[in-house]
């Protein structure tokens, strides 16, 4: 069994998959060829101005961006792409696990389809992501080494690898939607299953293509997410009832995630996992309180009539309304995020007497946790309470 785990965790297995897909590592001595594609990777958020001076021996902090030391700021991943179709397909698929996707796709389901489905998705997404992030920092298994792996992303390189939270989120979102939608919307289940499997597969494979996870990381992510869904599924209706009707629901929704954020496992080096986890918990808390408020006000914006309802015909007018809602909603969420981030940081910097130009102070627990939690709780509240009401006022 240990031999199997070792094999699945072998970076050469990832490198082999990359080569089969047309992505090749280019040694520094051979990067002058005309076909070589040089790409500037984003600087890791874990690698800040002061460097990583205190890391544990198991971490990925000794980042070598495809043969380059972390201290060489001008050194970037060097690789050759021979299949641009697969390259862009996997980059797009990997993007489905980033913040830009969560702040657009999940709310879009709320605005244009059914808040009930969005609530289910946010609940499961919050659960699986918290479990996955905590497991990373408890197990402390490194990401694939480079070389031989080509790393197309470096933002989270200081994080550990197992399990793949991209894989966990893809499974949870795709199959929670598949299991919840039949009671709300009429559609062909086989088509939904095909879409869920396709989307999940693309996201999982993209984590191998981008060099961010081993095969073991991805498989464990899939299995853990499936297990969490299997164990929680019998209680989805019960939790829905508690979340919407209990008088203590908003208290639990705020206190528990904030407690989990502050008690997140400590590392002896800075990693983006605590910040990302606090962001997710904040969104979950804000949405949960917002859905409870809507229920108390008697205006949930959920589908009405005899369920399941048929999907609306996609006419030009319906499409235009959907696009208008999407654009207005995203502007509202991004604007809320920016305002709350600025205000909360100013308040916290003033409270702790931190110089305004000290950007590294954002990594401090006493600043990072409250500013992330407050910012994204506000985003969740705006999404669930205000945006739909603005649509009504504007006739959308």
DSSP assigned state of 152: S
Helix (H, G, I), strand (E, B) or coil at 352: coil
pLDDT given at position 376: 95
Q: What does R_g of the chain's alpha carbons equal in angstroms?
A: 22
Respond yes or no: is residue 213 known to be catalytic.
Answer: yes
Q: How far apart are CA 132 and CA 224, in angstroms?
A: 8
pLDDT surpasses 90 at 234: yes
Interval 260-276 mean pLDDT: 89
For residue 319, count other CB atoms closer than 10 A to its CB. Answer: 10
HEC letters along 19-61: HHCCEEECCHHHCCCCCCEECCCCCCCCCCCCCCCCCCCCCCC
What pLDDT score was predicted for residue 54?
A: 38
Residue 283: the pLDDT is 94
Provide the CB-side half-sphere exposure for 218 (13 A, CA).
24
Asked if 141 contacts 11 with a C-beta cutoff of 8 angstroms, the reply is no
Q: Which of 110, 145, 213, 269 is catalytic?
A: 213
Position 390 pLDDT exceeds 80:
yes
pLDDT digits (tens, 9 = 90+) for 288-341: 999 999 999 988 888 887 888 888 788 888 889 989 999 999 999 999 999 999
pLDDT of residue 65: 40
Position 76 scores a pLDDT of 56
pTM of the entire structure? 0.85
Q: What size, in residues, is the chain?
A: 396
Q: How confident is the model at residue 166 (pLDDT cuts 50, 70, 90)?
A: very high
Place of tokens 């082999």: 16
Q: What percent of the chain has pLDDT over 70?
A: 87
User: What pLDDT, on a 0 to 100 scale, did the predictor assign at position 28?
Assistant: 58
Instruction: Report d(CA 218, CA 203) in Å as an integer.
Output: 10
Q: Are 42 and 158 in contact (CB under 8 A)?
A: no
Q: Would you say the C-alpha torsion 203, 208, 213, 215 has a positive or negative sign?
A: positive
Q: Which two tokens stand for residue 215?
A: 């095969």
- Is residue 241 part of the annotated active site? The answer reads no
- Which one, of 12, 79, 60, lies nearest residue 215 by Cα? 12
Lowest mean pLDDT among 119-128, 150-159, 169-178, 280-289: 150-159
Cβ contact 270:378 at 8 Å: no
CA pair distance 17, 38, nearest whole angstrom? 20
Q: Count H helices, E strands: the chain? A: 15, 5
Under 8 Å between Cβ of 288 and 379: no
Per-residue pLDDT at 238 exceeds 60: yes
Q: Cβ distance 157 to 186 under 8 Å?
A: no
Q: Which of 124-133, 155-164, 219-228 has the lowest mean pLDDT?
A: 155-164
* Whether the Cβ atoms of residue 383 and residue 107 lie closer than 8 Å to each other: yes
Instruction: Name the phi and psi angles at 104, rounded to 5.
Output: -120, -50
User: Contact at 8 Å (CB) between 175 and 205?
Assistant: no
Mean pLDDT, the chain, as a whole number?
A: 85
Place of tokens 């705006």: 382
Give 366-378 pLDDT, tens digit per residue. Answer: 999 999 999 999 9
How far is residue 133's CA from residue 129's CA, in Å, rounded to a whole number?
Answer: 6
CB of 224 closer than 8 Å to CB of 168: yes
Give the pLDDT score at 106: 86
H helix or E strand, kind and range, residue 137: helix 115-139
Chain centroid to Cα 120, Å, comes to 16
**Smallest Cα–Cα separation from 260: which of 273, 277, 238, 243?**
277
Catalytic member of 9, 54, 166, 241: 166
CB 282 within 8 A of CB 373: yes
**Which range is least confidently modeled, 26-35, 119-128, 220-229, 230-239?**
26-35
- Residue 61 binned pLDDT confidence (cut-offs 50, 70, 90): very low
């Amino acid at each position: 069994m240990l031999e199997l785990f070792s094999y699945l965790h072998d970076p050469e297995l990832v490198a082999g998959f990359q080569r089969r897909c047309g992505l090749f590592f280019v040694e520094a001595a051979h990067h002058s060829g005309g076909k070589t594609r040089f790409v500037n990777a984003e600087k890791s958020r874990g690698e800040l101005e002061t460097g990583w001076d205190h890391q544990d021996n198991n971490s990925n902090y000794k980042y070598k961006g495809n043969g380059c030391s972390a201290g060489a700021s001008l050194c970037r991943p060097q690789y050759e792409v021979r299949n641009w179709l697969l390259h862009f397909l996997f980059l797009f698929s990997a993007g489905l696990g980033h913040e830009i996707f969560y702040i657009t796709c999940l709310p879009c389901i709320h605005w244009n389809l059914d808040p009930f489905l969005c609530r289910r998705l946010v609940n499961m997404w919050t659960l699986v992501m918290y479990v996955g992030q905590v497991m990373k920092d408890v197990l402390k298994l490194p990401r694939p080494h480079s070389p031989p792996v080509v790393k197309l992303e470096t933002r989270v390189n200081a994080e550990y690898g197992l399990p793949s939270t991209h894989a966990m989120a893809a499974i949870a979102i795709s199959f929670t939607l598949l299991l919840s939608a039949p009671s709300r919307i009429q559609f062909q289940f086989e088509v939904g299953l095909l879409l869920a499997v396709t989307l999940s597969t693309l996201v999982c494979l993209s984590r191998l293509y981008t060099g961010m996870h081993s095969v073991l990381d991805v498989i464990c992510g899939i299995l853990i997410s499936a297990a969490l869904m299997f164990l929680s599924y019998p209680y989805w209706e019960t939790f829905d009832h508690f979340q919407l009707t209990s008088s203590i629901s908003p208290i639990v929704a705020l206190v528990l995630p904030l407690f989990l954020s502050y008690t997140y496992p400590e590392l002896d080096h800075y990693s983006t996992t605590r910040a990302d986890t606090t962001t997710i918990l904040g969104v979950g808390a804000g949405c949960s309180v917002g859905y409870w408020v809507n229920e108390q006000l008697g205006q949930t914006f959920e589908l009405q009539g005899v369920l399941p309802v048929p999907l609306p015909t996609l006419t030009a007018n319906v499409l235009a309304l959907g696009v208008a809602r999407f654009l207005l909603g995203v502007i509202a969420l991004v604007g809320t995020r920016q305002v709350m981030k600025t205000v909360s940081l100013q308040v916290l910097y003033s409270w702790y007497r931190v110089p305004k130009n000290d950007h590294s102070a954002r990594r401090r627990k006493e600043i990072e946790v409250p500013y992330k939690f407050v910012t994204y709780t506000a985003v969740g509240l705006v999404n669930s309470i205000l945006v739909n009401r603005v649509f009504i006022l504007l006739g959308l």
